[in-house]
Chain A
Amino acid sequence: MERFLFFIYNTFDGAIERRESKLQQRVPLIGLTLIVIFILLLTASILLGLFFWVWRRRELPGAIPFLILAAATAEWSVAYALELALPGLAAKTLMSQLEYIGISLVPAAWCLFALTYSGKEEWSSWRRIGLLVILPMITIVVAFTNNLHGLLWSHTALNENGPFNVFMPVYGHWFWINFVYSYGLLLFGSVVLFQALRNNESVYQRQFLILLLSPILPWIANILWVMRLSPIPQLDLSPFAFATSIFIFGVGIYKFKLFDLLPVGRPAMLDDLSVVAFIVDNKDRIVEINRAGVMLSGWMGDPIGQLVYKVFDWWLSIGDEHIASIELQQDVSLTRDGHKRFYNLQITPNWNSRQRLTGRLVLLRDVTSDKLLEEAIALAQVKTEFLAKVSHELRTPLTSIMGVTEMLEEGVYGAVSLSQKEALHVLCESAQQMAQLVNDLLQQARLDQGFFNLNNTEFYVIDLVDRIRTNMRRLVEVKGLKLSIKIDESVPEKLYGDPIRLYQILSNLVENAVKFTDKGNITLRIYRPNPKEWAILVEDTGIGIPEDMKGIVFNAFQQVHRADTRENIGFGLGLSIVKQLVTLMGGQVSLESEVGLGSKFLVTLPFEPLEEIRA
């Protein structure tokens, strides 16, 4: 390493001596010096203005390193102006030492700015910043203690031969250490910034151009200075270049809101989205893609830079006219791992100022669950409509069957014998059962669909009970059973609820009781178990429900099988409908039963006092 540094040292020293000999005849130009000093001070004041402007926005990404960068460059410019202005070696040496505060801090600040601005947030921790500035701090100390060791400048002298009267030292070892470190940081920072900017090429073109120019300028100036190729000999253009670069950033910040639009912060944010997002340039290459996009593509490796239709085979199926230039939003279905999934595809083209397509932003939102839900709803709708249609169509012929049979039984068409009467009876009963099935199916379909409303109103309890008594009488008498109905005195004359649905609950419970009872009584009782509720109790002396069946009697399409008669009537929807309706009404239904003794179905419903409802 030391040999390498020594080599550079000698090479540059040689170069310096060669150029110095050519410039020996020149005399200092006071006017030019003054202009340069003026420019340096102007630069410093612009930088300070920028400093205070950014200070108010210091919470934005990259702002703190930017502030350090601006301050360090301003300090460097002022010290450099003073170096040019003040006469004598001692004063110029002191100013050069002061310059080193800026010189050594600028590369570190530049590097930090590049890192934080590129979204590498971890670099904004104070520990990392501390690590970066250790060497610059040492350099500053070395500069101010140079008299003791000569590590920075092994020899100091004035160069009064050129247009400027400047401090012209011979560089010591530490100068080269700092030189390598500084250039390393500058290079690293520039690479980081370029990388970050390249990824956003198609979207942030103007910003890119501005940011592209900025890091190049200090590089050019520095190379010119170190190689002694500066257009104005003996004038270090580096502070100007840094100032210009920082000024360009300032314009970028002010005019294009660079700090508001962190170029790399956006894709990082996109990564957290569940939506698939990617950007395709005008040559169909993927220039940016979020994590969800990579997952969807299943592409091995980095999809960035790949042709979009290689990564997403469905791309070509969308149709050129859509992909070409217009804003598009449509639903597409893709098969992933053998499963069909639905996506809402949105393609937003991006044009530059000359109306040339620069790229397209593609968003894919997985709408599979929405789509499936939609389909399920549509299917349920079709099912309900179908059942409504079927039940409607069945009702008309059933009316004929029932009517004609009953008329026959009644002797309207002439006298019938006792055995004929019995046969007609069976027909009647079957038609009744069929009618009930049709009702149950329609009801279940409506409940399944979920848009079922209760029409709550005031109603007379006695009306409800009378309808049951009238409509169930035949059913009960046919089996030789007795139906007794009791309404407790605690139950008011009028209740609040949906009388149609309550009738359905009552009739389903009574029919169920009749179905499973061969002899004895069926009791219907309406009472108030407590002030907040009213209850319907339907009790029978039937076959009862075995313990293991109690859990399923309220399930749709399930019922207790009658082993004794092999009779298996209905779809098992009656009790399921009761349960669903009661639940809808905010009540509960429970069951007590013992095989061979009978069953008790208890429905409890919230009691709503009419005075409160009216009020």
Chain B
Amino acid sequence: MTVPIAYIIEDDQVISKIFDTAVREAHYQTEAFFDGNEALEKLTTGKPDLVVLDLHLPGVSGLQVLKAIRSDDRLEGTRVIIVSADATLSEYLRDEADLVLIKPVGFFQLREMAVRMRPPLEPS
């Protein structure tokens, strides 16, 4: 059984650490990105199962990252949780993302959501 992969795209170091821990506790293998460019670059080759995405990022915005994921057929199975402090913008993206969480998002909440988003186990 392969361990699902999650990208944590969040510029705040402390919050990134919290999200990273929560998602790891949900049994994902995680990788953290602190700006949009970095994440986009990695997304050209990587194939994460879950992306935890902040919207306001330095460089390329979270919105562009989301568009990139949704327009890439290779990333069809990738699930996106938007975690943002921007309540207005987030509401517009409810249909684009698999889940929208408005900050403050707690450790427990994200962990539970990450568990729910885990891909179904492939029969071995």
Interface residues of A (CB under 8 A from B): 388, 391-393, 395-396, 398-404, 406-407, 410, 412, 428, 431-432, 434-435, 439, 442, 470-471, 474, 500
Contacts and interface: CB of A to CB of B under 8 A. Distances in A.
B71 interface: no
B91 interface: yes
A431 B109 CA distance: 14
Contacts of B103: 395-396, 398-399
B76 interface: no
Interface stretch (B26-34, B40-48, B61-69, B81-89): B81-89
B63 to A, nearest CB: 15
A46 B15 CA distance: 101
A392 B18 contact: no
Contacts of A395: 85, 102-104
Contacts of A432: 106
Interface in B1-55: 12, 14-15, 18-19, 21-22, 25
Interface in B100-114: 102-109, 112
Interface of B: 12, 14-15, 18-19, 21-22, 25, 85-88, 91, 94, 102-109, 112
Given A392-B87, A500-B94, 20 more contacts: A391-B87, A392-B86, A393-B85, A395-B85, A396-B103, A399-B85, A399-B104, A400-B12, A400-B15, A400-B18, A402-B107, A403-B14, A403-B106, A403-B107, A406-B108, A407-B18, A407-B21, A410-B108, A412-B21, A432-B106
A401 B107 CA distance: 10
Nearest to A435: B104
Contact of A403 (B15, B25, B85): B15
B94 A399 contact: no
**Chain B interface, >50% SS class:** helix
Nearest to B85: A395
A580 B36 CA distance: 39
B102 A404 contact: no
Nearest to A410: B107
Contacts, number: 72
A247 B79 CA distance: 94
B85 A407 contact: no
Contacts of A442: 87
Contacts of B105: 399, 402-403
Nearest to B89: A392
A448 to B, nearest CB: 15
A391 to B, nearest CB: 7
B31 to A, nearest CB: 19
A399 B15 contact: yes
10 contacts: A399-B85, A402-B106, A404-B18, A406-B107, A410-B107, A412-B107, A431-B104, A432-B106, A442-B87, A500-B91
Given A407-B107, A474-B108, A500-B94, A388 B102 contact: no
Of all A-B residue pairs in the complex, the 7 with the closest CB atoms, nearest first, are A403-B18, A395-B85, A406-B107, A398-B104, A395-B103, A399-B104, A402-B106
B1 to A, nearest CB: 25
Nearest to B103: A395
A476 to B, nearest CB: 14
A402 B88 CA distance: 22
B61 to A, nearest CB: 15
A484 B14 CA distance: 37
B18 A396 contact: no
Nearest to B22: A403
A86 to B, nearest CB: 101
B12 to A, nearest CB: 6
A428 B102 contact: no
Given A395-B85, A395-B102, A399-B103, A404 B14 contact: yes
Contacts of A388: 87-88
A407 B110 CA distance: 12
A401 B85 CA distance: 14
Contacts of B25: 412
Contacts of B15: 396, 399-400, 403
Nearest to B104: A398
Nearest to B54: A396
B85 A392 contact: yes
Nearest to A431: B104
A586 to B, nearest CB: 21
Contact of B104 (A393, A401, A410): A401
Contacts of B18: 399-400, 403-404, 407
A131 to B, nearest CB: 78
B32 to A, nearest CB: 14
A105 B15 CA distance: 103
Given A396-B12, A396-B103, A399-B105, A470 B87 contact: no
Nearest to A443: B87
B85 A396 contact: yes
